[in-house]
């Protein structure tokens, strides 16, 4: 059996019931054959066995009191996967589906994603199985305070720097930071995604969506094309999706869909950004409200979705941007996209395509931007926030956006070059896995067995 198969089999035994983690590792290892053949030292020094094992996992109880006076208990996680390239860096996810396997998949992806940014960042992830939906601001505050009351002893600006992810936006970051500051007496760059008026970076909240659009522009440019005039299908209606829609519109493309956990909006005239922000960010409501206020938009409630398919991908599009969550795009969806003429899929979310969907899209040779490259603009701009915090500066929006564009173009180039170097030109899934892994693996060897 091969080295990678041996490692995968061992992982199945030692990390049972962690399906998403296993999926993420298998995809990476499937790309590494030629690299491992040409670098026997990786095997000799057991770099793969080491990289799939987190440096440290912190699991903790989060007990808090809801508005009725009832005690609630949640599971808290922080997986400090790798500090090889810099302080551990990665978001926090608050969602009822969070478990050890989900956090480990996200943390593992984050190691390679952060490596691709070219910035000094390790990788990790955290979160809780807490559902902020339907909770009052006071409840969210108490939860965040309880969460940070355990986490604060494990994080710090040169140790581990959390940020947002699903369910963790500016409100949660504010409560988390406030509690860290009270407990430590320090105002420092311990968390990113802070409001710009108290230590945040301009452009951070937009960065993942904008960066994803810049990456799609690079993908299309490599084929002598561009985004202008393209019909785009976007899934999700949160931070990444909203800013993807915003940047697509300003670049002359036409986003026609968004989705949330209640359903899908198809608005042929183009998504109305102001209304979307009003419904999702101000009112924290479901997308049916969007359709109620725009008679020409179609709303498909989740109860009417066909089994195993997502209707957002059957809206004909030139470019698809999955920006909601993992495994949201199935093989049936991939077939629909290919047969209706989609040219490009660019992943705003982490691991949004199932393995068979990804294989189908790659076989069809459409331009494919894997999440760990295409959505790296968020964490890259988090590092710009860390730089500003460390030097007590605040850069202008134009400066941050200029750097973001440059970083996305560099990621695209390095991923393309790695794919070509190992005999798979144009295969950016392969290129991203190789380029990210190689950078971390070499540094691990240089830093000695650990």
378 binds ligand NDP (CB under 6 A): yes
Q: Which does 167 bind (CB under 5 to 8 A by kind): ligand 2IT, ligand NDP, none?
A: ligand NDP
Strand order in the sheet with 263-266: 257-260, 263-266, 298-301
Query: Residue 165 or residue 385: which is nearer to ligand NDP going by CB?
Result: 165
In sequence order, which ranges of 185-315 are alpha helices (DSSP H)?
204-221, 239-250, 273-277, 288-293
- Scanning 87-95, 129-137, 257-265, 335-343 for contacts with ligand 2IT by CB under 6 A, the matching segment is 87-95
Q: Are 246 and 206 in contact, with CB atoms under 8 Å apart?
A: yes
172 binds ligand 2IT (CB under 6 A): no
Query: Residue 193 or residue 311: which is nearer to ligand 2IT going by CB?
Result: 193
Query: Residue 189 or residue 286: which is nearer to ligand 2IT going by CB?
Result: 189
Chain Cα centroid distance, residue 241: 11
The pairing of strands 123-128 and 71-82 is antiparallel
80 binds ligand 2IT (CB under 6 A): no
351-369 b/e (C-beta count within 10 Å ≥ 16 → b): bbbbeebbbbbbebebbbb
CA distance 141 to 171: 9
Site for ligand 2IT in 100-129 (CB under 6 A): 110, 113
CA distance 75 to 30: 32
Q: Which does 189 bind (CB under 5 to 8 A by kind): ligand 2IT, ligand NDP, none?
A: none
Q: Which residues, other chains included, contact 217 with Cβ-Cβ below 8 Å and sequence gap of 6+?
A: 226, 227, 251
Binding residues with ligand 2IT: total (CB under 6 A): 12
Q: Which residues, other chains included, contact 162 with Cβ-Cβ below 8 Å and sequence gap of 6+?
A: 78, 90, 91, 92, 126, 151, 155, 176, 190, 191, 192
Q: Are 48 and 29 in contact, with CB atoms under 8 Å apart?
A: yes
The CB-nearest residue to ligand NDP is 238
CA distance 21 to 182: 35
- Ramachandran angles phi, psi of 264, nearest 5°: -120, 135
- Scanning 31-39, 61-69, 152-160, 164-172 for contacts with ligand NDP by CB under 6 A, the matching segment is 164-172
The pairing of strands 319-321 and 231-234 is parallel
125 is annotated as an active-site residue: yes
Which of 261, 339, 363, 447 touches ligand NDP (CB under 6 A)?
261
Catalytic residue among 89, 104, 113, 125: 125
- Scanning 158-166, 338-346, 353-361, 442-450 for contacts with ligand NDP by CB under 6 A, the matching segment is 158-166
Q: Which does 238 bind (CB under 5 to 8 A by kind): ligand NDP, ligand 2IT, none?
A: ligand NDP
Q: Which of 251, 256, 214 is nearest to 234 (CA)?
A: 256
Which of 24, 42, 60, 89 touches ligand 2IT (CB under 6 A)?
89
Which of 54, 76, 107, 236 touches ligand NDP (CB under 6 A)?
236
CA distance 74 to 412: 39
- Scanning 13-21, 85-93, 263-271, 309-317 for contacts with ligand 2IT by CB under 6 A, the matching segment is 85-93
Q: In the bound complex, what is the minimum distance in angstroms from residue 35's beta carbon to ligand 2IT?
A: 24
Judged by the rule CB under 6 A, the positions of this chain that interact with ligand 2IT are 89-91, 110, 113, 163, 165, 192, 350, 378-379, 382
Q: Which residues are catalytic?
A: 125
Residues that bind ligand NDP (CB under 6 A): 95, 164-167, 169, 208, 236-241, 260-262, 323-325, 348-350, 375, 378
């Amino acid at each position: 059996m091969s080295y990678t198969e041996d490692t995968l089999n061992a992982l199945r035994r030692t990390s049972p019931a962690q399906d998403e983690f296993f999926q993420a590792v298998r995809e990476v290892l499937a790309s590494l054959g030629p690299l491992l053949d040409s670098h026997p030292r990786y095997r000799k020094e057991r770099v793969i066995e080491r990289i799939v094992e987190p440096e440290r996992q912190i699991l903790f109880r989060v007990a808090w009191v809801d508005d009725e006076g009832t005690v609630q208990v949640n599971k808290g996680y922080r997986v400090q996967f790798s500090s090889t390239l810099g302080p551990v860096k990665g978001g926090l996810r608050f969602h009822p589906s969070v478990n050890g396997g989900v956090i480990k998949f996200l943390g593992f992806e984050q190691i390679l994603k952060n490596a691709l940014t070219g910035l000094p960042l390790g990788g990790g992830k955290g979160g809780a199985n807490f559902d902020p939906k339907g909770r009052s601001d006071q409840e969210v505050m108490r939860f965040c305070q309880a969460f940070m009351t355990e986490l604060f002893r494990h994080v710090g600006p040169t140790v581990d720097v959390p940020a947002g992810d699903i369910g963790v936006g500016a409100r949660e970051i504010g409560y988390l930071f406030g509690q860290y500051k009270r407990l430590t007496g320090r105002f420092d760059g311990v968390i990113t995604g802070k409001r710009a008026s108290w230590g945040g970076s301009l452009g951070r909240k937009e960065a993942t969506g904008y960066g994803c659009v810049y990456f799609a522009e690079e993908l299309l440019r490599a084929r002598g094309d561009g985004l202008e005039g393209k019909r785009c299908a976007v899934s999700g209606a949160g931070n990444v999706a909203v800013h993807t829609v915003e940047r697509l519109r300003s670049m002359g493309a036409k986003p026609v869909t968004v989705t949330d956990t209640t359903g899908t909006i198809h608005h042929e005239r183009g998504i109305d950004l102001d209304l979307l922000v009003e419904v999702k960010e101000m009112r924290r409501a479901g997308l049916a409200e969007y359709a109620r206020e725009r008679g020409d938009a179609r709303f498909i409630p989740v109860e009417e979705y066909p089994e195993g398919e997502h209707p957002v991908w059957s809206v004909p599009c030139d470019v698809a941007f999955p920006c909601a969550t993992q495994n949201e795009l199935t093989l049936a969806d991939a077939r629909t996209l290919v047969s209706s003429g989609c040219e490009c899929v660019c992943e705003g979310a982490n691991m949004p395509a199932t393995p068979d969907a990804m294989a189908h899209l790659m076989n069809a040779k459409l331009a494919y931007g894997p999440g760990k490259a295409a959505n790296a603009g968020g964490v890259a701009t988090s590092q710009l926030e860390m730089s500003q915090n460390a030097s007590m500066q605040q850069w202008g929006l134009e400066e941050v956006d200029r750097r973001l564009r440059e970083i996305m173009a560099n990621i695209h180039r390095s991923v393309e070059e790695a794919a070509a170097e190992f005999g798979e030109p144009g295969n950016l899934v392969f290129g991203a896995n190789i380029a990210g892994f190689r950078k971390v693996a070499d540094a691990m060897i240089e830093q000695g067995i650990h």
